[in-house]
């Protein structure tokens, strides 16, 4: 059997809190394909950048509910906060996990559900010491990106399907595909002009800026931050069984460590007594629970509670 068949069998026989299977996103993919999509620097790795922790919250611990979801708490922004994107064959998860969280928070703070921000602008331009030494399609750090949003800003940018429509400045130029093979995208060139010539706003005028970045420590503070400000940028260590996730509350069962991966976190809940976080991935709706996943809460599963950042907008 192929290694993925073995992993699916092991997970499902283990009677864990989640179900393994074959996702459309990785139907013909190899482990090398999966590794291509990773590249976030984790706290135990060299060069990890972490901003100062936020320590003051308005919400008392006693007011934390059993479940919460950014998508339903701010229904006007559901089209933004629930939007599932596709990073294609580029290790740009760090740019998606940060840019999307900034996008969500912008909508929550302002009510603007029309603006969609550009992960391409982030992955192309956010580099060097001003961005936690992020390296485009070769990986990076959400915390560095949040610092970049404060200092340099980010422009609008829709998905690959939006290229040429004139609806945003820098739509994502890398076409989605289920099997990367030798088609690995190079980091797009950083430009100070919009890539979509049909868009009517200049690059400099199109930028949105954050008002600072910070880290959040501990389960309760993560919950308070989600309730007060919205989506968080988080990261986890990916193992071989993660790509086979099709539903339930994920916790690592089997397989080797592949690398760090950044996503956005939108809430939490409890499933048959198992506490979980709700996260949205950037692997299209053909993976997991229509592009999202739930992961064990309260045990720092795969490091999900150890690398949490956000910022004011």
* Residues with catalytic roles: 93, 261, 281
N- to C-terminal Cα separation, the chain: 50
CB 95 within 8 A of CB 72: no
Residue found by looking up tokens 């998860």 in the block: 93
Residue found by looking up tokens 């069984």 in the block: 241
CA atoms within 13 A on the CB side of 159: 12
CB 223 within 8 A of CB 73: no
Q: Nearest Cα to 14, choosing from 211, 234, 244?
A: 244
Angle at 295 between CA 132 and CA 74, to 5 degrees: 80
Residue 55 CB contacts under 8 Å (≥ 6 apart), including other chains: none
Query: What is the per-residue burial (b if ≥16 Cβ within 10 Å, else e) of 17-48?
Result: bbebeebebbeebeeebbebbbbbbbeeeeeb
């Amino acid at each position: 059997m192929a290694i993925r068949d073995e992993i699916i069998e092991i997970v499902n026989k283990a009677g864990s809190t989640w179900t393994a299977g074959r996702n459309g996103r990785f139907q013909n993919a190899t482990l090398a394909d999966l590794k291509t999509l990773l590249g976030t620097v984790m706290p135990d790795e060299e060069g990890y950048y972490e901003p100062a922790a936020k320590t003051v919250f308005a919400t008392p611990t006693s007011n934390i509910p059993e479940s919460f979801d950014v998508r339903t708490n701010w229904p006007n922004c559901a089209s933004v906060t629930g939007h599932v994107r596709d990073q294609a064959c580029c290790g740009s998860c760090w740019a998606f996990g940060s840019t999307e969280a900034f996008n969500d928070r912008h909508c929550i703070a302002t009510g603007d559900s029309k603006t969609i921000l550009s992960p391409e602008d982030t992955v192309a331009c956010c580099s060097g010491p001003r961005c936690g030494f992020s390296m485009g399609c070769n990986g990076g750090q959400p915390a560095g990106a949040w610092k970049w949003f404060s200092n340099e800003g980010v422009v609008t940018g829709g998905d690959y399907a939006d290229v040429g429509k004139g609806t945003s400045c820098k739509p994502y130029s890398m076409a989605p595909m289920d099997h990367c093979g030798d088609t690995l995208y190079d980091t797009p060139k950083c430009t100070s002009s919009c890539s979509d010539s049909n868009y009517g706003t200049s690059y400099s005028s199109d930028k949105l800026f954050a008002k600072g970045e910070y880290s959040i420590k501990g389960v309760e503070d993560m919950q308070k931050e989600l309730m007060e400000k919205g989506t968080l940028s988080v990261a986890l260590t990916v193992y071989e069984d993660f790509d086979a996730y099709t539903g339930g509350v994920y916790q690592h069962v089997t397989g080797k460590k592949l690398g760090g991966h950044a996503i956005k976190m939108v809430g939490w809940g409890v499933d048959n007594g198992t506490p979980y976080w709700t996260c949205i991935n950037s692997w299209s709706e053909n993976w997991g629970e229509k592009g999202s996943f739930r992961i064990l809460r309260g045990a720092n599963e795969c490091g999900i509670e150890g690398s949490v950042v956000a910022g004011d907008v």
